[in-house]
C-alpha cells in the first residue's frame, strides 16, 4: 500500500483514526497500530510479513539477552548473532544476485543468480532494529520487555517501508505514554496533505520531464542519442528536484502521521539545496540515514584502532551500497566521500570564506553530477552521461526538445525551485509576529490545504501507480 493512493487517504487512514481514537487506553491504541501496520505492509506482498515477524521476534529475544547480561560474554554473543542475522538477511535478499553476477563476471563461472525479490522496506526496518540492539548493548536504552511494543516500534506503518529511520530512544517514552493534542492533529494532517501534494502534484510531474529527457531508468539512457549538453544538465537538475520532492514528500507524510498518533519523529530533510558545501548538504539530506552511519560506522575500529579516513571510506561505501546492489551506487557513495574528505582537508574556516554564489554553484554542480551517477545504473549509460556533460557525442549545445520542455514546464520548475527553499517557512514566521497576521496565515493555510488535497485527489483519479522512489531501496 502507498500513501499517495485514494484508498489509503479516504478509507484505510480514516478507519484507522476512528478505531485509534475510539478509546484513550494506550494498550488498545497500540493494538490498533500493530494491526493496521501489518495490514499496510501485507497489502502488496503478504509473503514478506513472515520475514518481518521473524526478524522482530529474533531481535526482541536477543535484545532481552543483551539487556540482562550487560557487557558479559553472553551479551557479546547475542549482539554478534543479531548482526549476523540482520546483515545476513539484508545480504541474501538484496545483494546475493549482485554478488553472484560479479563472481560470474570475474571468474567466467555460470552460477545461477538467486531469484529473490526485494522485500519492501527491509533496508529501513533492518537499520531500525540494528540501532535498537546496538543501543541496548551500549547501555543507551533498556531492552523492551514486551514483544508487541517492540513489534509496534518496528512496524509502525507511517515509516515502515521508506523511512525515516526512527531510533528506539526517540520514541521509547511515547510507546507507553503519549497523547494527541488538537494542535498535533492539525499540524500532522497538514503535513500529510503537504507530503501528498509534493508527491502527486510536483514529483510525478518532474518524473515525466526526466523520462522525456533520458527515458525511463530501465531504458538505459535511451534519450541521450538526441539530447544536447544543456539538455543533459537540465535533465540531472530536474532529477534532483524530483528526488527531493518524492522522498521529502514521503518523509512529510510519515512525520505528519506520526504526529497524529502522538509520536514525534525527527526531521529527515532540512532544505538541502540551500547548502554551501557538500558536508552541509549531507547534514540536510536524508538526515536519519546519515546520522545512522555516522553513529554506528564512522568510529568502528579498523585493524584494531579508529581510523579517520578509513571510517569515512566505510561510511560512504556503505551509504552507496545501501541504496542498491549496483556498482553505480557504490561509485556514487565514494564520489561524495571524496568531496567530504577534500572539504575536511580544506577546513571549515576556509570553506566558510568562499564566495556565497560560488559556494552554491560548486554545490549544485557536484550534487547534479551525483544524481547522474545515481540515476544511470549501467556503465555504458554512465559513460555516455559523463561525455554528454561536456558536449561529447551530443546533438549540440542546446536542442529544441529541451527548449520546449523548459517553456512547457516553466511554472512547475519555478515552483519546484522556490518550494525547495525555506520561503514558505519564512512566510509563516512573519505571520506569527502579530495575532492578526497569524489568523490570516492560518486561514490561508486551511484554504491551501483544502485546495492541495482536492487537486491531489483529482490527479490520483487518473494515476493509479504512485510508488515512492525509496520503496525500491
Residues with active-site annotation: 323
Cell of 157: 506503518
Give the other-Cβ count within 10 Å of 36's Cβ.
20
Under 8 Å between Cβ of 402 and 231: yes
Calculate the dihedral angle through the C-alpha atoms of 330, 335, 337, 343, rounding to the nearest 10 degrees: 180
Residue listed under C-alpha cell 522522498: 247
CB 248 within 8 A of CB 230: no
Residue 208 grid coordinates: 515525466
- State residue 3 phi and psi, 5-degree precision: -70, -40
Burial (0-12, 13-18, 19+ Cβ within 10 Å), 246? buried
Residue from 54, 469, 126 nearest 318 by CA? 126
Q: Is 337 helix (H, G, I), strand (E, B) or coil?
A: helix
Whole-angstrom Cα Rg for the chain: 23
Per DSSP (E only), the strands in 154-254 are none
Torsion of CA 133, 137, 141, 142, to 10 degrees: 90
Side-chain-side CA neighbours of residue 459 (13 Å): 18
Q: Alpha-carbon distance 127 to 424, whole Å?
A: 33
Q: What is the DSSP letter of 223?
A: G
Residue carrying C-alpha cell 484508498: 7
Q: What 3-state class would DSSP assign to 71?
A: coil
Give the distance, in angstroms, between the CA of residue 59 and the centroid of all CA atoms in the same chain: 24
Amino acid at each position: 500500500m502507498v500513501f499517495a493512493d485514494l484508498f489509503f487517504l479516504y478509507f484505510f487512514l480514516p478507519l484507522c483514526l476512528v478505531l485509534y481514537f475510539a478509546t484513550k487506553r494506550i494498550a488498545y491504541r497500540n493494538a490498533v497500530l500493530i494491526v493496521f501496520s501489518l495490514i499496510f505492509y501485507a497489502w502488496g506482498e503478504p509473503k514478506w510479513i513472515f520475514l518481518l515477524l521473524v526478524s522482530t521476534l529474533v531481535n526482541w529475544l536477543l535484545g532481552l539477552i543483551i539487556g540482562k547480561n550487560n557487557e558479559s560474554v553472553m551479551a557479546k554473543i547475542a549482539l554478534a548473532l543479531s548482526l549476523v542475522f540482520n546483515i545476513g538477511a539484508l545480504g541474501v535478499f538484496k545483494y546475493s544476485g549482485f554478488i553472484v553476477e560479479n563472481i560470474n563476471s570475474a571468474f567466467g563461472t555460470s552460477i545461477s543468480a538467486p531469484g529473490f525479490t526485494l522485500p519492501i522496506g527491509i533496508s529501513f526496518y533492518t537499520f531500525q532494529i540494528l540501532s535498537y540492539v546496538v543501543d541496548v548493548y551500549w547501555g543507551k536504552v533498556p531492552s523492551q520487555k514486551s514483544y508487541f511494543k517492540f513489534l509496534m516500534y518496528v512496524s509502525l506503518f507511517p515509516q515502515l517501508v521508506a523511512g525515516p529511520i526512527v531510533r528506539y530512544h526517540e520514541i521509547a517514552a511515547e510507546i507507553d505514554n503519549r497523547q494527541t493534542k488538537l494542535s498535533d492533529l492539525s499540524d500532522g494532517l497538514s503535513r500529510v496533505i503537504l507530503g501528498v501534494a509534493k508527491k502527486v502534484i510536483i514529483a510525478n510531474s518532474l518524473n515525466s520531464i526526466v523520462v522525456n529527457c533520458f527515458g525511463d531508468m530501465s531504458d538505459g539512457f535511451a534519450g541521450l542519442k538526441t539530447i544536447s549538453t544543456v539538455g543533459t544538465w537540465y535533465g540531472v537538475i530536474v532529477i534532483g528536484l524530483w528526488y527531493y520532492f518524492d522522498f521529502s514528500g514521503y518523509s512529510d507524510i510519515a512525520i505528519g502521521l506520526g504526529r497524529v498518533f502522538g509520536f514525534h519523529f525527527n526531521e529527515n530533510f532540512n532544505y538541502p539545496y540551500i547548502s554551501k558545501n557538500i558536508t552541509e548538504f549531507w547534514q540536510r539530506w536524508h538526515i536519519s540515514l546519515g546520522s545512522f552511519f555516522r553513529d554506528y560506522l564512522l568510529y568502528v575500529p579498523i585493524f584494531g584502532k579508529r581510523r579517520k579516513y578509513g571510517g569515512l571510506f566505510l561510511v560512504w561505501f556503505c551509504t552507496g551500497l545501501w541504496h542498491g546492489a549496483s556498482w553505480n551506487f557504490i561509485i556514487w557513495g565514494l564520489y561524495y566521500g571524496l568531496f567530504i574528505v577534500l572539504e575536511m582537508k580544506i577546513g571549515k574556516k576556509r570553506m566558510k570564506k568562499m564566495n556565497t554564489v560560488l559556494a552554491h554553484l560548486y554545490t549544485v554542480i557536484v550534487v547534479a553530477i551525483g544524481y547522474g551517477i545515481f540515476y544511470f545504473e549501467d556503465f555504458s549509460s554512465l559513460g555516455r552521461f559523463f561525455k554528454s556533460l561536456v558536449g561529447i557525442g551530443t546533438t549540440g549545445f542546446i536542442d529544441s526538445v529541451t527548449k520546449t520542455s523548459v517553456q512547457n514546464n516553466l511554472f512547475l520548475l519555478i515552483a519546484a525551485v522556490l518550494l525547495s527553499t525555506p520561503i514558505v517557512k519564512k512566510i509563516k514566521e512573519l505571520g506569527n509576529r502579530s495575532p492578526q497576521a497569524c489568523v490570516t496565515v492560518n486561514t490561508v493555510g486551511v484554504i491551501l490545504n483544502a485546495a492541495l488535497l482536492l487537486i491531489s485527489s483529482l490527479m490520483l483519479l487518473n494515476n493509479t501507480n504512485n510508488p515512492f522512489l525509496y520503496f525500491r531501496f
